A and B are shown apart, each in its own frame.
Chain A
Amino acid sequence: MRECAWRLPAAVTLLSWYMLLAGLAWMAPYSWREQHRDFPAAPPTRIRMVDPAGEWRMPFVCKMVPSSDSVGSYGEDCRVRYPVSLLQPAGDGRMVLFRAESPGLLFLFGTDDLGRDVFSRSLAGGTVTFATGLLATMVALLLAILGGCLAGLLGGWPDLMISRGAELLMALPVLYVLLALRAALPIQTPPAVAFALAVGLISILGWARPARLLRGVVMSTRNEGYVMAARGFGAGPIYLLRKHIFPRLRGVLGAQAAILIPEFMLVEVALSFLGLGVAEPVPSWGTMLSSVQYDLVADRRWWLGFPAVLLTLSILLSGQVARTLELQLQPVAVAPEES
């Protein structure tokens, strides 16, 4: 019962979380490719409300001064203040979430080696990762519907081929096979091609489990009395699929989507983490994290771990929603009740 009460909020939270990511990516303070060459590896900018004289003011940031002795260490000159404003139109016509009055700079989560704003890149990278997960899920589920319905309805050798194919795929360690397939394809590709390859490969490897589930549902539905009865009314396969079988699949599909999206997002992250997904300069949480490996502790640049926090939050939320959806969408059994 408690799960039921949380069902709607959970789904809404998840949806708004991803919409927020995509929306914020659009409203990010900087572009994901904009390099601030004078400010590489800058720590998060502090937003202050008290000026050196001890007076309260509207939020502002101080002028950032690169220190002369080493790259990546900065001082602040608070005699020069830049007020922070929310929801301001930027030069390129976008509405920007927040920004410091130029020429002030506000890096909420610092910058990377090339002086790019980690906050803006995290949002854009999240969009790439989420889009990969979402698209791969959609393609995989389409394949699964096709395979599951063909196998479940036709039976015989199509069923044998599809089921065995799915079992074969499930008997293999996904990441290894993914890497092998990726190895056969060109490594250096434009970002769009790499994105398409990631979506394609993930969905080709991922259709097996939902297809088997759907096949099971189709098979059990096909043997239901009411399907037999409809056939007695002269119903053809299209009618049966549309009226009796698809409505049963909807619940399974919803639950599977909720499970697969985070799973595929993680595969995308792994792929681009290993350098085989979308590549620089296009961000994805995976590529961003792969650079963290070396910098996180050695150079004490903890702020580069921000995408990891976002990723964990997303997976956490998705997991909750998947669990509640799974509970909700289980087919309702009809209470057998005799007079």
Chain B
Amino acid sequence: MSEALLVARELAKRHRAACALGGVSLSIGAEESLAIVGESGCGKSTLLRCLAGLERPDTGSVVFEGVVVWRLRGEQRKRFCRGVQLVLQDAARALNPWWNGLALVREPMDLLRSDLSRQERDVVARRWLERVGLPASVTERLPGELSGGQRQRLLLARAMTLEPAVLLLDEPLAGLDPPIQRDILDLLQELRRDRPLATVLVTHSLGAAAHCAERIAVMRSGVIVELQSMDSFFSGPQHLYSQEILAGWQARQANFVPGPPIKSGGPTH
């Protein structure tokens, strides 16, 4: 593993009475890909928001390039925002429903790339829309007029316009049909191939994690119970909980073999 870009030290946070994070330490190296799995409510989203500097942990710290994230102000904060981007859960809500595609993709640059002129920003925005595989007509459309997969691509394009070093993805596959999920994961792989990019993918699906991450962290009740390379996780998980979810996943894989789509009128099993 190369030098650490983004480091979390002993993050703890409580939401009212409930413990959301109970001392999580994590380091993400350049160009690394990490997947965080766990059931809903285990603190995955809170962890990502803390990493992105959107929530402040009660104790512990997040360090980016040697500086504690919550202390950042002004130019340094801008630098951090350009370096670490979070793609939020629930694409339908993460896009302002009254803005068209172009304005949405341009928004990060409007805020963080004041060095570019309006025309340049437009050009970059269009290039990224094309890069994530969206038709040019999306620039004029409102989020409500896009499909779920298109909205997810839009979110990716939006984050990528800043050319971040770390991309944090919070359940990017939720609510999407399996083929679309596959497309999104493939797109993510392509983006990583294009440029140096570290990704942290939060998901509850082991399949997605295996598809596009080298390391895996298993979270339960606000703590990371296991942090492994993907290969050793699949060959022999250490923690009891990890064994449980792996066994559950394998059982599902055995029962439902994803095949070609069933044609209507054909036999069902």
Contacts and interface: CB of A to CB of B under 8 A. Distances in A.
So, do A and B actually touch in the complex, CB under 8 Å?
Answer: yes
Interface of A: 224-226, 228-235, 239, 244, 247, 332, 334-339
Contact of B98 (A229, A231, A247, A339): A247
A228 B54 contact: yes
B contact face: mostly helix, strand, loop, or mixed: loop
Nearest to B113: A233
B85 A232 contact: yes
B253 to A, nearest CB: 24
Interface string B96-114: 1110000000011001100
Interface stretch (B131-139, B173-181, B261-269): B173-181
A234 B81 contact: yes
Contacts of B177: 338-339
A335 B94 CA distance: 14
Contacts of A336: 92
Contacts of A244: 96
B222 interface: no
A338 B97 contact: no
A234 B114 CA distance: 12
21 contacts: A225-B88, A225-B94, A225-B95, A226-B93, A226-B95, A226-B96, A228-B54, A229-B86, A232-B53, A233-B81, A233-B107, A233-B111, A233-B112, A234-B77, A234-B81, A334-B97, A334-B142, A334-B144, A337-B144, A338-B176, A338-B177
Interface stretch (B36-44, B145-153, B237-245): B145-153
B175 A338 contact: yes
A30 B129 CA distance: 68
A21 B98 CA distance: 38
Contacts of B182: none
Give the one of A224, A230, A338, A339 with max B CB within 10 A: A339
Nearest to A332: B97
Interface of B: 52-54, 77-78, 81, 85-86, 88-90, 92-98, 107-108, 111-112, 142-144, 147-150, 158, 162, 175-177, 180
B111 to A, nearest CB: 4
Contacts of A231: 54
Given A225-B88, A337-B148, A234 B111 contact: yes
The 10 closest A-B pairs by CB, nearest first: A339-B147, A225-B94, A334-B144, A225-B93, A234-B81, A334-B97, A226-B96, A233-B108, A338-B148, A233-B111
Contacts of B95: 225-226, 229
Contacts of A234: 77-78, 81, 111-112
Nearest to A338: B148
Contacts of A337: 144, 147-148
A335 B203 CA distance: 25
